[in-house]
Chain A
Amino acid sequence: MNNFEPKIVGFCCNWCSYRGADLAGTARMKCSPNVRIIRVMCSGRVEPIFVVKAFELGADGVLILGCHPGDCHYVEGNYKTMRRMPLLKKMLGQLGIEDERVRLDWVSASEGDRFVSVVDDMTAKVKALGPFKKNSKEAKHG
């Protein structure tokens, strides 16, 4: 299991977290290459089905990053994302997806270092969980 390199889909909002990720690069900070970023305008755009789909297509984890609460470029999109999370987590649990495989967090445009630590931490946690194996229930309904 030591050589296991998880595939993690990362959703970043255009205004804060995507820029935070850019800043990590510009500052040449090193981070695990496992998180692959998909840009959305706001974390509020992330539909629960995107997360389920990611697991169906072979992801071992999903990371959703938005602006810090109160700092949303669209006023309160990140609060909508936050509100959706408990329901999504409940549904994922029913599909046999462990809680730690999905994480919602906040990274501002000036927090390159925070982006790196969230990505590294998420990667380490998913690594410890091992590869995600689709169970029959999910395969049927996915």
Chain B
Amino acid sequence: MVKPKIGVYICHCGSNIAGTVDVPQVVEFAKGLPAVAVAREYKFMCSDPGQSMIKDDIKNLKLNRVVVASCSPLLHEPTFRRAVQEAGINPYLFEMANIREHCSWTTEDHGEATEKAKALVSAAVKRVYHHQPLETREVPVNPNTLIVGGGIAGIQAALEIADAGHKVYLVEKDPSIGGHMIQFDKTFPTLDCSACILTPKMTSVGSHPNIELMTYSKVEEIAGFIGNFKAKIQKKARFVDESKCNGCGVCMEKCPWKADSEFDLGLSQRKAIYTPFAQAVPNVPVIDKESCAYFLKGKCRACEKFCEREAIDFEQQDKTVEIDVGNIIIATGYDPFDPTPIAKYGYGKLPNVVTGLEFERICNSVGPTGGKIVLKDGSEPKSIAIIHCVGSRDENYHEYCSRVCCMYALKYSHLIKEKTKADVYQMYIDMRCFGKGYEEFYKRLSKEGVTFIRGKPAEVTDRAINDEEKGKLIVVGEDSLLGTIVRVPVDMVILCIALEARADAKNVAQLFSISQGADGFFIERHPKLDPVATMTEGVFIAGCCQGPKDIPDTVAQASAAATRVLALINKGKVELEAAVAVIDEEKCSGCRICNLLCPYNAISFIEEDEVSRINEALCKGCGTCVAACPSAAITHKHFTTEEIMAEIEGVLV
């Protein structure tokens, strides 16, 4: 090995580091560390002049190792690895000391911060001393993409990729694609009919030669890595042969059995053989075993008798198909918050307290009331209160703002005014109308005769205290602008419920090895600069599974995710991390402990040689086998025992 010659570069990061850490002192300290040839400081090491300083030193001083002490390596490690590589050094002969996030930003006392920075620099210098040049591996990228979730996010991403000429598998758990957006009546602030703008996209998906639509299906298992995933998809039995059915609908007409419609949130009924809504894609019904008389009692089969195309197949079984894909986009959406636990608002007890999503269906011309805004008794309401932030901005439920409720509440006001003569009361905390055309929509609505009352209501009750309140729902709260208690008697109350992470988001996160935030939504790689990638290479997120958002933002994010996937497909290959594990077969005793530890089945026992061997393509470099090997026969490249021991010594200066 050539004798290590290390250059150390300490970043001020403006005042982010230098405001707390005595940088000149750390530079002096670094100069005294073994094998350090040069130590310098600079205002912004990541800037062009900063990088040039490093490159020039590599050339002029013949440095063969570099340490940069600045921000988190998760931010700028790629920047500096590239810089040293451009100056002719293997990128793995570089190490970063995190003296910003882990030091200057978290430490109050300047002296303590400076001491900690010295320890972290010393650790990096001692570690880099032992670094070895490593070569990254290139693997081809399978051009097929798996998209999970057939709402507007999944639809948008699927069309972008398919239109670019690449194969997409779109997996949706429900019998039809469309997601929540197809349940909405109008969309704010333009008041476009939601179905009118979505169905053309849905039919494009259904007929696209590059899209293989798998509805009534779910992803069961994912194996592999970026560019080379293997997915197992479970297709639930529809009991209708998709290749024979032409969607004529006779089966649904003749079926005598009914159940609550999931699509209409239980406000109407559907048949036991059904498509969730008229424009379903695919337009192929499913038989719900739970409500079908044949499955429950062994007789009926009316649908079968009337189906001219003999598409009904009661013998159909669930089946699992295996597909190979290079990238995955997760667009699993959100669940609407269930307001039942907020007992004071009476949801579930008071008949005319409805959720926002239920109101969307009530408003919709093909919904349970044929688009008439009516009370449970069929009469038209004379007054309606809309309560904002139900489950959002509430420490008892969700601290976050759901971002869409103010706007859909305004939309409801407009729809109510259009269809009825009812008075409308908006009970809000703050009006948050931040998007394009949103503030204008708010202004417009305030001229349509809507009453705005600032303050979150305390309760909704049917206990009248005077004649005017008799037979009404009374919304009790404080008008915080006037500082008075108000009692507003109305006929109907709409709760603007929060958007929350899917109940099964944890399972999805585990399945795809991605992370969830405290609120359950999936975490993006960087909250500002990498909003669609995840910690797992080749797995992207789009839409409300990442956090509550409106349709324009969802579409933008879905297109962004598609673009990222297209870039990878276009490149055709991807570099894999070089930091994997290797077994020294001379030292391996063949005990096979490592075989069982590996979660990726990357280690197999070679019978004829009586040793274990690691498949580098499958190894993800966690190092668990390394720590467990009783013969110390496994080396974790870039995280060798020697390197980590040196780092331990370093932090303990």
Give chain A's interface residues, CB within 8 Å of chain B. 5, 7, 9, 15-16, 18-19, 21-22, 24-26, 28-31, 33, 36-42, 44-50, 53-54, 57-59, 67, 70-71, 73-77, 80, 84, 108-111, 116
Contacts and interface: CB of A to CB of B under 8 A. Distances in A.
B112 A33 contact: yes
B101 A21 contact: yes
B628 interface: yes
B101 A80 contact: no
Contacts of B506: 70
A53 B513 CA distance: 32
A25 B105 contact: yes
A13 B510 CA distance: 17
A80 B579 CA distance: 20
10 contacts: A7-B651, A21-B102, A22-B102, A30-B108, A33-B109, A33-B113, A37-B651, A42-B623, A46-B627, A50-B648
B620 interface: yes
Contact of A36 (B119, B620, B644, B645): B119
Contacts, number: 148
Interface string B502-514: 0000100110010
A124 to B, nearest CB: 16
B204 interface: no
Interface in B14-39: none
Interface string B586-603: 000000000001011000
Given A36-B116, A54-B652, A73 B102 contact: no
Contact of B644 (A5, A22, A50, A108): A50
Given A9-B652, A41-B639, A108-B518, 13 more contacts: A7-B651, A25-B72, A29-B106, A31-B107, A33-B107, A36-B651, A41-B621, A46-B627, A48-B627, A71-B516, A108-B515, A109-B515, A109-B535
Nearest to B638: A41
Interface in B507-535: 509-510, 513, 515-518, 523, 535
A58 B509 CA distance: 40
A50 B72 CA distance: 23
Nearest to B107: A33
A96 B647 CA distance: 24
B373 interface: no
Given A18-B74, A44-B627, A9 B641 contact: no
B100 interface: yes
Given A21-B102, A108-B515, A33 B627 contact: no
A84 B625 CA distance: 13
Contacts of A25: 72, 100-103, 105-106
A44 B651 contact: no
Interface in B609-653: 620-624, 626-628, 636, 639, 641, 644-645, 647-649, 651-652
Contact of A33 (B116, B515, B639, B649): B116
B4 interface: no
B536 interface: yes
B116 A45 contact: no
A73 B106 contact: no
B636 A54 contact: no
Contact of B579 (A7, A9, A41): A41
Nearest to A18: B74
B242 interface: no
Contact of B515 (A16, A41, A76): A16
A108 B517 CA distance: 8
Contacts of B517: 109-110
Given A22-B74, A38-B644, A80 B102 contact: no
Nearest to A119: B106
A54 to B, nearest CB: 5
A53 B535 contact: no
A29 B105 CA distance: 7
B123 interface: yes
Greatest chain A CB density within 10 A among B628, B644, B647, B648 is at B648
B648 A38 contact: yes
B535 A80 contact: no
B98 interface: yes
A110 B621 CA distance: 23
B120 interface: yes
Given A30-B106, A37-B102, A80-B624, A45 B639 contact: yes
B639 A77 contact: no
Contact of B101 (A26, A38, A53, A109): A26
A33 B115 contact: yes
A33 to B, nearest CB: 4
Contacts of B371: none
A39 B622 contact: no
A107 B74 CA distance: 17
B624 A19 contact: no
A33 B103 contact: yes
B386 to A, nearest CB: 32
Contact of A80 (B116, B513, B628): B628
B332 to A, nearest CB: 17
B368 interface: no
Contacts of B652: 7, 9, 36, 54, 57-59
Contacts of A18: 74
A74 B72 contact: no
A99 to B, nearest CB: 21
Contact of A47 (B513, B518, B626): B626
Nearest to B649: A57
